Chains A and B, each alone.
Chain A
Amino acid sequence: MVTGTTLDDYTDRYARRVRGMTTSEIRALFSVASRPEVVSLAGGSPYVAALPLDAVGAMLGELGSVDGTTTLQYGIGQGDPGLRERICEVMTLSGIDVTNGASPDDVVVTVGGQQALDLIARVFIDPGDVVLAEGPSYVGALGVFQAAEADVVHVAMDGDGIIPEALEAAIAAVAAAGKRAKFLYTVPAYQNPAGVTLTNQRRDLLLAICERAGLLVVEDDPYGLLGFDTDPLPALRSRSRDNVIYVSTFSKTFAPGLRVGWILAPHAVREKLVIASEAQILCPSAFAQAAVSAYIEKMPWQQQLKTFRETYRERRDAALSALTDLMPDGTTWTVPAGGFYIWLTLPTGLHSKEMLPRAIAERVAYVPGTGFYADGSGAAHLRLSYCFPAPDRIREGVRRLGTVIEQEVALRSTFGLA
């Protein structure tokens, strides 16, 4: 008897959008990166060990023992009103306040920033719609847009963020193709993965360009409060009440394990987001929301922000000084003024994805640049995260990476591929 099986009886029944989902060798390589022998400059995990864990633990315990009848119960779809008040307090640090129309009524609490992006995609994107995004852009957002079957068009950046002329050209090119972009997705502060920040002047230009083109702006701001050298630049949302949908999260400023983020949206959009969120998750976790509320109300969270900034600044400095000392000629990188990431450009001809196995063999991990472009370009770049390892480990990781790059340059040169 001859039998054939694909070990998947559902192949013909999957939705079109999941057909491209496959296991990848990158995942195989990253499974090694989690081992302690490897210096991982790959993941963007916040350094939660810097939190006062005893005090946070006691606070969480009380939420169960004292307030359990509410914190363990369902909540409302839009999110706890008290937390939405606290979120408005936090946003004042980014210049978003009552003077530009910020109201707890227009805040939707989400399961981290990721659900926020997914909700926005559900509300705005039909299959084939265009989304503009920085090139490179946050890989998690690209995944959301891909799942929504959007066509992502990247807009070039330089050290000052999105290039206004490139944005205008992209809008024109989309229009010339008979399409209309639904929104511009941007991480203007300490961008993931590039580490660059949109300058003050360009913020006004960008908003003006988008308004003229009738293009919404989705401002994703997870890192805005983690600047090292200056106060945060006023968010795009602080300058435009009706044309910006603002997304942020407590994942980088408190704890990603709680999965609490939010959207501040124009009133009409907020209605749609709440209904979409109720259909998706019914309501965000009451316990997690209560934890964030209690943290903001009872603990010195602004002092903790300062601690985080100092920790990450020290690590950023360690990474930059190691790069300066140890990287071979032809390698360049961005200099972030905040956040978690450095975007590194390899010597000509090198391919960050193809080089990754060699890096893992040398016990250092990074994220290849290809993950940050919808079309898989970006092979000449890679993302380094300095947020989690201690400074001496960062230096060791950069040393190993330098060796790998040197070997790769020599190898490609041998084969005439440099």
Chain B
Amino acid sequence: MRVLVLAGGLSYEREVSLRSGRRILDALLSAGVDAAMRDVDASLLPVIDIEAPDAIIIALHGSAGEDGSLQGILELASAPYVGAGARSARLAWDKPSAKAVLGGAGIDTPDWVTLPHERFTELGAKAVLDRVVTRLGLPLMVKPAQGGSGLGATVVRAAADLPAAMVACFAYHSTALVESYIEGADIAVTVVDLGEGPIALPAVEIVARDGVYDYAARYTSGLTTWHTPARLSDGVAAAAAKVALEAHTALGLGDLSRIDMIVAADGTPYVLEASVAPGMTDTSLVPMALSAAGLDLGQTMAVLAERAAARRR
């Protein structure tokens, strides 16, 4: 079997993607899999036509690999790939759409409103933001409707700070998702399907040293403490695992996903978002979860690649 890992791409998460791709590649090679890595550019489709890899692993973060478009193009090229299909990836990528689906499936997610920047121009920023604060209260989480790695995300604790947070968010995307900010334990649950249906791996709990899990905290060793498994009671851990599987299923995801949640003080897990091409760097959550579950990254990715190849056959 020959596997092609796609990494890089033209998104803000390019550097992270290259690190993820390199880690997956090394793990595959260590597991004895014939694998190569390449960036996404004009030579990609001709290369896929000529080399016809048995499976493609998408380690592209941000829109380049998570908005479903690349998945759709690979489907057009009849190239088998690991992970969610184009439509499901697109759904998960757009956070408000994903939250709507999750809410419809009875899964708890923080109360929210979606605000394209044009609405503020039309209706006046103050009038809109006043209602946001009245309706959702404080604190709030402001983040781009699409995107990852904490880029453009701000926790707003005072109404006066909301306009600046909106502008910072709109620098990354034209639509903002404003959510009630729920205080609690930040956890991420990896869901993987190795052939016998999706299973939830041990949750990883994230404790950022400075309280904010921003870009620096995510990718600088030493700034964040990760607890695997998360410091949850057995009952809450089981509830979180169940919710993660429900979210994975409700969104139609496949092979591998990471469901980010916050566990409120009363033990209720709230789903924040789902990632279809989760980070695989040295400080990423999925490799930690795999390790806690006793699974080898290379062998796991090899099994997922085999499954993708088999789907074509």
Contact = CB atoms under 8 A, between A and B. Distances in A.
B121 interface: yes
A7 interface: yes
Interface string A1-21: 011111110110000000000
B231 interface: yes
Contact of A25 (B167, B207, B216, B224): B216
Given A411-B170, A416-B163, A28 B149 contact: yes
Contacts of A32: 10-12, 14
B231 A11 contact: no
B14 A31 contact: yes
A28 B14 CA distance: 7
Contacts of B163: 415-417
Contacts of A11: 222
Interface in A398-418: 410-412, 414-417
B231 A415 contact: no
Interface stretch (A97-105, A267-275, A310-318, A355-363): A355-363
A260 to B, nearest CB: 30
B56 interface: no
Interface string B119-144: 01100011000000000000000000
B166 interface: yes
Given A23-B216, A28-B12, A37-B10, A414 B227 contact: no
| A interface bracket (residues with beta carbon within 8 Å of B) | 20 to 34
Q: Is the interface of B mostly helix, strand, loop or mixed?
A: mixed
Contacts of B167: 354, 411-412, 415, 417
Contacts of A360: 12
Interface of B: 10-16, 18, 117, 120-121, 125-126, 149, 151-152, 163-164, 166-168, 170-172, 207, 214-216, 219-229, 231, 282-283
A30 to B, nearest CB: 8
A411 B173 CA distance: 12
A22 interface: yes
The 5 tightest CB contacts between A and B, nearest first, are A8-B221, A8-B222, A31-B15, A415-B163, A22-B216
A6 B117 contact: no
Contacts of B126: 416
14 contacts: A2-B227, A2-B231, A4-B207, A4-B225, A5-B226, A28-B12, A28-B215, A29-B12, A31-B18, A35-B14, A354-B171, A357-B171, A414-B125, A415-B125
Nearest to A31: B15
A356 B229 CA distance: 37
Contacts, number: 96
A357 B12 contact: yes
A73 interface: no
A8 B224 CA distance: 9
A6 B171 contact: no
B290 to A, nearest CB: 15
Nearest to A24: B216
A109 B90 CA distance: 57
B62 to A, nearest CB: 10
B14 A416 contact: no
B40 to A, nearest CB: 10
A357 B227 contact: no
Given A22-B216, A354-B168, A7 B125 contact: no
Contact of B16 (A3, A28, A354, A356): A28
A212 interface: no
B300 to A, nearest CB: 20
A53 to B, nearest CB: 26
B201 to A, nearest CB: 15
A411 B117 contact: yes
Contacts of B164: 415, 417
Given A28-B149, A417-B164, A6 B221 contact: yes
A27 interface: yes
